[in-house]
Structure 1
Amino acid sequence: MSKILIAGCGDLGLELARRLTAQGHEVTGLRRSAQPMPAGVQTLIADVTRPDTLASIVHLRPEILVYCVAASEYSDEHYRLSYVEGLRNTLSALEGAPLQHVFFVSSTGVYGQEVEEWLDEDTPPIAKDFSGKRMLEAEALLAAYSSTILRFSGIYGPGRLRMIRQAQTPEQWPARNAWTNRIHRDDGAAFIAYLIQQRSHAVPERLYIVTDNQPLPVHDLLRWLADRQGIAYPAGATPPVQGNKKLSNARLLASGYQLIYPDYVSGYGALLAAMRP
């Protein structure tokens, strides 16, 4: 079993902490506020953007770092502070720790290209906005470390119901019917936990796209969600599919991991069932 530090214990980090603790690992969760942690998880109150608060983490002597912070605001400055400077500060504070591997939760937003072809880990990322560029800047900090970059597509799950709510207001559906790629939060956390468990006999790949089996046009998803909720929407053909991209999860599947929710039907179906009175 390993000593694991999870930097950033929001929704994804908390679910990962629960799974790793259940596997018998010694887990410490770093977060900015003193909110409750899952049973068995040690709490460390610190802020990755403030190096002075990170002085004690080296004494935890973590063997694995999972960096899954979330920017508090969608702006270039907050992305720079949270992902680039925050990761830099955390790695610097862990100098002298017996760190064996770093898992960094990045984003498929680094792929700014809009093409018909499937994209995978061998596709060069072409970031076109600040968020993708900052993620690539942070990823580059790990070049000298034994590390795995996890580029997540759109995360959904308990508490992440944006598409379900959007389906309830057809008049606000986007005019452009672009491709959407998604991953359930439980699969995101379970896949990281799986890679950590596999380290004893298989070195993880340097990069994974973390997404489910079925990208689809966003209007197809919204219509399916509306139908399941009894929401009426204008009849007629859907807009032509334009924009975004389709992401391949072939490398994820080749790792041996089996998705809990392989597609939107199983994932959103479970969420809708849990919402029923």
Structure 2
Amino acid sequence: MSVPSVVIAGCGDVGSRLASQLLASGWEVHGLRRDISRLPEGVIGIAGDLFKKDCPDTWPIGGVDYLVYCAAATEHDEAGYRAAYVHGLQHVLEWLDDYGQQPRHLLFVSSSSVYGQQHGEWVDETSDTQAQGYSGQVMLEAEQVALNSGIPASVVRLTGIYGPGREWLLTQVRKGYRVATEPPLYGNRIHADDAAGLLAFLLRHVEQGGSLDKVYIGVDNEPAPLADVVGWLREYLGVTEWSEDASVRRAGSKRCSNKRIKALGWEPAYPTYREGYAAILKG
């Protein structure tokens, strides 16, 4: 019996974590990135550039059971986002077509930036997408490319990813980071291992004969005011000084729900920011 195969296009941090989890389950994993020397051991490297139309020479010529598209923009402007998420996905779909490959399912890794709610509202997969900035607007465009690809597809809207190597907030807290407390500035987050684990869970669900909805939100169990997160981290780290800068206030405040994916049976290994940040700091 053949093992399931997957191509992870844009096999960076989350993609590599996903690859390691699938390898441990006996999957055949192909990872596409420019520098394949950075792929986890056991991943079959595809040295390629998603921004270019030319199909990589090492694209797998056999069957591709699953495709996960989890690219990251290298230029953080509208053109950079469109190149990474819209055009890059279109290129991969063309390469599949060139080889006559029809995956059983496509997972497109999107972002909660497609939601523009700003007043602490609860948001789920049925909520209106009111993207305010170019990032969310381009993501919505890319989502439609995936959903209209002719391949059974699901969009996974990840929230703020944190984990080893993604420690901006920890650095700021150590500097005495100030945050506005009223009204509460709600944030949503997911540990990088849980982001990968959620993607692996969805792939295994399909492999075992299950069906998927078109959209899932990837978030932990507890959206929380940023001031609460900062306060917990200050106490954990023993930070007593405050920065002289004025309180930080960034746009956007919403609470994302993970009820849909939990109803399918998924549970995060790090249910809240407390477990996740404690694991980072102990590590």
Same fold (TM over 0.5): yes
The one-letter code of the counterpart of 2:235 is: D
What is the one-letter code of the residue matched to 1:185?
Answer: A
Q: CA deviation at 1:201?
A: 2.4
Partner of 1:202: 210
Which residue of 2 is the match for residue 166 of structure 1?
172
C-alpha distance in 2, partners of 1:77/1:242? 22
1:258 to 259, 262, 267: 267
CA contact (8 A) 2:46 2:56 kept: no
Q: Are positions 1:118 and 2:122 aligned together?
A: yes
Distance 1:197 1:142 in 2: 20
**Shift in Å, 1:60:** 4.2
Structure 2, unaligned runs of 5 or more: none
Aligned equivalents of 2:108 and 2:57: distance in 1? 21
Q: Write the deviation string for residues 83-114 of structure 1: whole angstroms up to 9, x where unpaired.
A: 00000111111011031110010000000121
Residue identity in the other structure for 2:122: W
Q: Which consecutive aligned stretches of 4+ in structure 1 deviate over 4 angstroms post-superposition? A: 174-177, 238-243
Between stretches 34-43 and 261-270, larger displacement belongs to: 34-43
For structure 1, list consecutive stretches of 5 or more residues without a partner in the other structure: none
8 Å CA contact retained: 1:57, 1:94: no
For 1:47-66, what aligned pairs fall within 5 Å after superposition?
A: 47-54=49-56, 57=59, 59-66=61-68
Q: CA deviation at 1:53?
A: 3.7
The amino acid of 1:198's aligned partner reads H
Match of 1:76 among 71, 75, 78: 78
- Note the 1:1-277 alignment, pairs <5 A: 1-54=3-56, 57=59, 59-95=61-97, 96-144=100-148, 145-170=151-176, 172-175=177-180, 178-199=185-206, 200-234=208-242, 243-274=252-283
Identity of aligned residues (%): 38
Q: Which sits farther off after the overlay, 55-64 or 134-143? A: 55-64
Secondary structure at 2:38 match in 1 = coil
Distance 1:201 1:99 in 2: 14
Q: CA RMSD in A?
A: 2.1
Contact 1:58 1:94 in 2 (8 A): no
Instruction: Give aligned pairs, total.
Output: 271
Q: Which amino acid aligns with 2:259?
A: A
